[in-house]
């Protein structure tokens, strides 16, 4: 799977540096729509029912603990990208947050760092590349993984070595953790189902929402005004 992802990224990454970050280029729309339909069917008949069952049998505090655990497990990714983006103050703050939640928070199940004033951040290589001026390239709908771009797909590959599970030989344990993470993440999105399904074109809605969200993340919630080259 990693080799396939690498080949895909190598084939499309050439467009990354030539697309402005605000331009939702979607030259693969026919293919993307087909993958979206596949993902939607898999979600409708498999993932969504499993997520609803998970919510029905799992107390809220348990789901919160699971969410905290996976957030803390991958938090080194945020720390590394804080420094790569030239934000050392946030980087050192996130180091402290990770250490506190990993120890006092019992492996990240609890979040004592937030009450102590250590704010949670979310950074990745896709955002770092955007900070460095790399455009998002083509919009991509990935099988099972959902919306992405050339830039974000490449960022996913760079993030692989920063995931602690990458170095484990316990394949069954890793598979179980990955399945739990997927189901828990889908459960958190159940409330958004009606919003998406009420759209005239859910594909376009998801594409635009994803690109706008990623642009906001690149600029830490304060993106500059977009220039659409309209005459006065």
The C-alpha angle with vertex 143 and arms to 167 and 197, in degrees rounded to 5, equals 125
Structural domain contains residue 230: no
What number is the average pLDDT over the span 78-103?
97
pLDDT at 5 over 70: no
Residue 10 lies in a domain: yes
Q: Which domain holds residue 93?
A: 2-218
Is pLDDT at 166 greater than 90 in this prediction? no
pLDDT > 90: percent of the chain: 76
Mean pLDDT of 123-140: 95
224 falls within a domain: no
Report yes or no on 93 lying in a domain. Answer: yes
Mean pLDDT of the chain: 88
Residue 193 lies in a domain: yes
Split into its structural domains, the chain has a count of: 1
pLDDT of residue 87: 96
Q: What's residue 159's pLDDT?
A: 95
Residue 191 lies in a domain: yes
| 232 domain residue, yes or no | no
Q: Report pLDDT for 118.
A: 96
Whether residue 227 is contained in a domain is answered as no
Q: How far apart are CA 69 and CA 75, in angstroms?
A: 10
**pTM score, whole prediction:** 0.83
């Amino acid at each position: 799977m990693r080799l396939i992802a690498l080949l895909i990224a190598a084939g499309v990454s050439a467009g990354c540096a030539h697309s402005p970050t605000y331009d939702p280029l979607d030259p693969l729309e026919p293919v993307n729509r087909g993958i979206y339909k596949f993902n939607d069917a898999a979600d409708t008949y498999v993932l969504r029912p499993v997520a609803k069952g998970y919510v029905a049998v799992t107390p809220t505090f348990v789901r919160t603990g699971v969410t905290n655990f996976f957030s803390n497990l991958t938090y080194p990714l945020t720390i590394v990208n804080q420094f790569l983006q030239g934000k050392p103050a946030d980087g050192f703050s996130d180091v402290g947050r990770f250490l506190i939640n990993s120890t006092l928070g019992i492996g990240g199940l609890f979040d004592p760092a937030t009450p102590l004033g250590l704010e949670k951040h979310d950074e990745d290589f896709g955002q770092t590349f955007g900070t460095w001026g790399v455009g998002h390239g083509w919009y991509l709908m990935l099988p099972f993984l959902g919306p992405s771009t050339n830039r974000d797909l490449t960022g996913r590959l760079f993030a692989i070595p920063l995931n602690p599970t990458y170095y484990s030989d316990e394949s069954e344990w890793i598979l179980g953790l990955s399945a739990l993470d997927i189901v828990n993440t889908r459960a958190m999105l159940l409330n958004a189902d009606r919003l998406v399904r009420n759209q005239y074109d859910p594909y376009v809605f998801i594409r635009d929402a994803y690109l706008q969200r990623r642009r906001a993340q690149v600029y830490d919630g304060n993106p500059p005004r977009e220039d659409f080259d309209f005459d006065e």
